[in-house]
Amino acid sequence: MSFYYKLFRWIAYLLGLLLLLVVLYGMGRLLHVAQGSIYHGERAPYLQMASATAMTIRWQSPTRYRGIVRYGVSPDKLDGQFIDAESGASHEVRLTNLKPATRYYYAVGSEADEFEAHEDNWFVTSPQTGAEQSSRFWILGDPGVVTPGQTKVRNAALAWMRTNNRSNRPDLDALLTTGDNAYSSGKNEQFQKQFFEPYQAVLQNFPVWPIYGNHDARRWSFHEIFSFPTQAESGGIASGTEYYFSFDYGPVHFVILDSEVSNRQAEGGMANWLRKDLKANQLPWVISLFHHPPYTKGSHNSDSTYDSRGRMFDMRENILPILEQSGVDLVLTGHSHMYERSYLADCHYGTSDTLKPEMILSRDKQHYQKRSVASGSHEGTVYAVVGSSARAAHGPMNHPIMASSMMEIGSLVVDVNGSRLDGRFIGGEGMVLDHFSITKGVESATVGTCDR
Ligand SMILES: [Fe+2]
């Protein structure tokens, strides 16, 4: 046997061993991810895919059964019923043929249960699409970690909304997040302990629309736990995917995008759907949410191509032009663990050193005006990074597009009343740390010059 033949054999053995180790590691990793995606305990009811005529109620039970939801307009008379499509431990029941803007009480259980209604188990259906109803949304950013800050921010915002309540209306209409809902790896059990349990009192009454963050993407739980409208069940144009979609709430069209795993190119599936959806929109207000901020100088840096593997660049360069062309009013993101909120901006698609004065449509620090009553192309957009609803991190906080930057824990409350939108960042001590507004239909408002 020649020396070279022996050498070749040894190399072949070593390569074979290496391949085996890689396969074993891959299988172990897959098993680890799969295990982390499973949760066998109880999960109290939460509300999904709200619309003017339907609501999905989900919950989880330690045992398998065919779930039943009984509901009615009075807690004493739950005279309607819907049943799970199949038996299991994770239940998903969609109530349909409901009346818009109506309060319903509900109880969940199995065939063997008594179905006693509890006065705290209720929800209110969305108003008719386009209805001029005052609307309030609570936005939590990167909330999924149990900290003293998480508790303070939650209690402070709920107390503020209670004090500043709307007569004969619940204190809010929907909960949205900007992603990273369960640290550190999006395990199903982390969702339970760090998201569902801390916010259960809200989740039982108000639909939640969570954004897909990079930490959520580390396991397979997120899309198992939450239900999203792929067929325009809650408004907008069908996207055919749970990763990006839109929905309506009265006068507001929400566009939910995925900056984590979907194609972020200008001619990708998400961008093409986005153009169609925004073109079809007739509602006066448009708010878009995704996880990676196009502008931030917080715990992430939107000027770095390495940071988050260029996702912030992709969203800024490829997606923002579509949003601004269609007159999106407000863009909410997270990922950076602080609060940053821009001036009324237009057409800034480069790094922060390329920001020109004409890209800031108003130098006012707080209150902005737009000319069109509905969505006017390139009339300006406000960008807010809300990423500190559980903890705040360090960062330079000096992006020149921002009118307000702060290293404070808090959450955002957005109120839409007719032609005015107000955003308030409520800190952990209950103070309004930032307040901005957008008023529409102001003839004298400055319009951007981008693409004109
Ligand atoms: Fe993140």
Flag whether 36 is in a domain: no
Token readout for 202 is 């809200």
Flag whether 7 is in a domain: no
Indicate the residue among 100, 124, 148 that finishes a domain: 124
Q: What mean pLDDT is predicted for residues 59-76?
A: 95
How close is the Cα of 266 to the center of ligand 1, in Å?
A: 22
Q: Are residues 226 and 366 in the same domain?
A: yes
Q: Are residues 172 and 307 in the same domain?
A: yes
> Range of 302's domain?
135-440
* Residues with C-beta atoms within 5 A of ion ligand 1: 180, 213-214, 335
Q: Are residues 152 and 118 in the same domain?
A: no
Q: What CATH number is attached to the domain comprising 78?
A: 2.60.40.10
Q: What CATH number is attached to the domain comprising 395?
A: 3.60.21.10
How close is the Cα of 339 to the center of ligand 1, in Å?
A: 14
Question: Each residue of 118-130: pLDDT tens digit?
Answer: 889 999 999 999 9
Flag whether 38 is in a domain: no
How close is the Cα of 85 to the center of ligand 1, in Å?
A: 35
How close is the Cα of 293 to the center of ligand 1, in Å?
A: 10
- Nearest CA among 10, 9, 28, 8 for reference residue 20: 28
Q: Are residues 315 and 407 in the same domain?
A: yes
- Nearest CA among 98, 152, 126, 121 for reference residue 44: 121
Indicate the residue among 72, 92, 124 that finishes a domain: 124
Pick the range with the lowest mean pLDDT from 33-37, 163-167, 221-225: 33-37
Indicate the residue among 124, 148, 180 that finishes a domain: 124
Q: Would you list the DSSP string of 322-341?
A: HHHHTT--EEEE-SSSSEEE
Element (H, E) at 342: strand 339-342
Flag whether 363 is in a domain: yes
pLDDT at 285: 97
Q: Are residues 331 and 368 in the same domain?
A: yes
How close is the Cα of 364 to the center of ligand 1, in Å?
A: 30
Flag whether 9 is in a domain: no
- Does the structure show a pLDDT above 60 at 452? no
Q: In 3-state terms, what secondary structure has residue 16? A: helix
177, 208, 347 from 138: Cα distances, Å: 8, 10, 28
Q: Are residues 112 and 158 in the same domain?
A: no
Q: Do strands 360-362 and 174-177 pair parallel, antiparallel, or not at all (unpaired)?
A: unpaired
Q: Is the dihedral of CA 90, 95, 100, 106 positive or negative?
A: negative
Domain count, the chain: 2
Length of the chain, please? Answer: 452
Q: In 3-state terms, what secondary structure has residue 252? A: strand
| pLDDT category of residue 3 using cuts at 50, 70 and 90 | confident
Pick the range with the lowest mean pLDDT from 18-32, 192-206, 228-242, 380-394: 18-32
Higher-pLDDT residue of 38 and 217 is 217
Q: What is the pTM of this model?
A: 0.94
Q: In 3-state terms, what secondary structure has residue 224? A: helix
Q: Are residues 104 and 191 in the same domain?
A: no
Q: Are residues 190 and 297 in the same domain?
A: yes
How close is the Cα of 28 to the center of ligand 1, in Å?
A: 25
How close is the Cα of 430 to the center of ligand 1, in Å?
A: 25
Alpha-carbon span 180 to 145, nearest angstrom: 9
Q: Are residues 212 and 344 in the same domain?
A: yes
Token readout for 451 is 């693409």
Q: Are residues 139 and 119 in the same domain?
A: no
In percent, how much of the chain has pLDDT > 70?
98
How close is the Cα of 334 to the center of ligand 1, in Å?
A: 7
Q: Are residues 81 and 148 in the same domain?
A: no
How close is the Cα of 388 to the center of ligand 1, in Å?
A: 11
Q: In 3-state terms, what secondary structure has residue 45? A: strand
Q: Are residues 308 and 417 in the same domain?
A: yes
Token readout for 244 is 């990006």
Residue where the block lists tokens 């299988």: 27
Flag whether 4 is in a domain: no
Flag whether 30 is in a domain: no
How close is the Cα of 129 to the center of ligand 1, in Å?
A: 32
Alpha-carbon span 423 to 415, nearest angstrom: 6
Identity at 241, one-letter amino acid code: T
Question: Each residue of 258-314: pLDDT tens digit?
Answer: 999 999 999 999 999 999 999 999 999 999 999 999 999 999 999 999 999 999 999
Is residue 291 within 8 A of residue 244, CB to CB? The reply is: no
Flag whether 151 is in a domain: yes
- Mean confidence (pLDDT) of the chain: 95
How close is the Cα of 215 to the center of ligand 1, in Å?
A: 6
Q: What mean pLDDT is predicted for residues 59-80?
A: 95
How close is the Cα of 295 to the center of ligand 1, in Å?
A: 14
